[in-house]
Amino acid sequence: MLRWLLRLTGALLGLLAAAALVLKLVYGGGGAFPDRTTAAALPDGTLEIVAELDTPPGNVAVSRNGRLFLTLHPEARPDISVIEWVDGQARPWPSEAFQHPSGDDDGFRNVLSIRIDRQDRLWALDNGHHGLDHPALYGFDLSSGALVHRYRFSREMAPLGSHLNDFQVSPDGRTIYIADASLFRKDPAVLVYDIDAKLARRVIEHHESVVPERYVSMVQGRRMEAFGLVAIRPGVDSIALSRDGRWLYFAPITSNHLYRVATRYLDDQALEPATVAGRVERYALKTMSDGITTDDAGNIYLSDPEHSAIIELDTERELTTLIRDERLRWPDGFSFGPDGWLYVTGSALNQVIARPPDSVAEHAPYPVFRFKPGPSAAAGH
């Protein structure tokens, strides 16, 4: 009997070792990302704290009159998904009830990204726990909080293992461009959603512009590889529109390059997905990046988690490090607000992912910052 148990234990350990090896080969490993940062161009003290949260923020959206909306990062397992910051307090938005849906009811399940469009609608993208639930897109009237649009993505558009991570809304408010980072499924893509037609399409798949390069980020001393097996290496994540709506810029976090494609190709439903992918351009070298946004002058701003930095990519495709500040723990989402302020969150994922729940409380509070880069842009994203 003892011999049989020893053999069974050995066999199980062998299977576990083999499974770990496969997991490491598929999801882990990778080298150091090239450092393209410089000394900071803006002085110390440029960042101004506008909120301090008990839970790490994900993305931010600021309205034209200065209302501040945030997601609480789903990796931190928050009780509330979307908040408005009012008089130093986090208020569930649009309501407490919408944060806790029952059964198949409308409501937030796993929201990371929010945006405010020029039509004064707040949009929230729910990835449905990487496709386990139904991923959905919700649109709200900003003044009343009323739900004015709802779309649930099909399994074809957002399959199990997908991760509808971030998105942008066209200036005319008719089209939404979505990054499916697909961390687990490893099938990243760009989706295009026609709001009026309620029609979604996957147009860029299996292309270098959406597939991560094999690097592992090092953030404030931590190698971002969960349990030594799974590198935090999502596919296309960073996504932004030029302010005139003509170009969509996008890239995986660990891509050396930022890519772009003209939105006229994305919007043309007559074009085959492979044709659209063939129109993608390699735009410029970049740093490691998470959130990105643009301004009216054509500059692109990138949050660099590895160096606690905010980077500017100018119209000559040159990189300048604007800010380096250790308080920026995994800088993440951007939103312009009124009066030229650019808001940025720090999701502190290096202190959250594959960490026990008490790690979140231990490293609180989590600031939300703003600064003035010079050029301005419409509020909301």
Q: What is the DSSP string of 17-33?
A: HHHHHHHHHHH---BPP
pLDDT 10s digits, 162-186: 999 999 999 999 999 999 999 999 9
| Pair type for strands 225-226 and 342-346 | unpaired
Contact 380, 63 (CB under 8 A): yes
Nearest to 290 by CA among 90, 57, 134: 57
pLDDT bin (cut points 50, 70, 90) of residue 14 is: low
Count CB neighbours of 54 within 10 A: 13
Identify the residue whose tokens are 């199990």. Answer: 160
Query: CA 232, CA 354: separation in Å to the nearest integer?
Result: 10
Query: CA 280, CA 262: separation in Å to the nearest integer?
Result: 8
pLDDT of residue 21: 53
pLDDT 10s digits, 129-144: 999 998 999 999 999 9
The kind and range of the H/E element at 9 are helix 2-27
| Percentage of the chain lying above the pLDDT 90 cut | 86
- Residue ranges of the domains in the chain? 31-371
Tokens coding 63: 């309205």
Is 110 exposed, middle or buried, given 0-12, 13-18 or 19+ CB atoms closer than 10 A?
buried
Given a cut of 90, is residue 190 above it in pLDDT? yes
What distances in angstroms separate CA 68 from CA 50, 81, 167, 173, 267, one per listed residue? 9, 14, 18, 20, 31
Query: Which CATH superfamily, name and number, covers 31-371?
Result: TolB, C-terminal domain (2.120.10.30)
pLDDT of residue 8: 53
Contact 252, 190 (CB under 8 A): no
Count CB neighbours of 152 within 10 A: 18
User: What is the SS3 assignment for 192?
Assistant: strand
pTM: 0.94
pLDDT, the chain, mean: 93
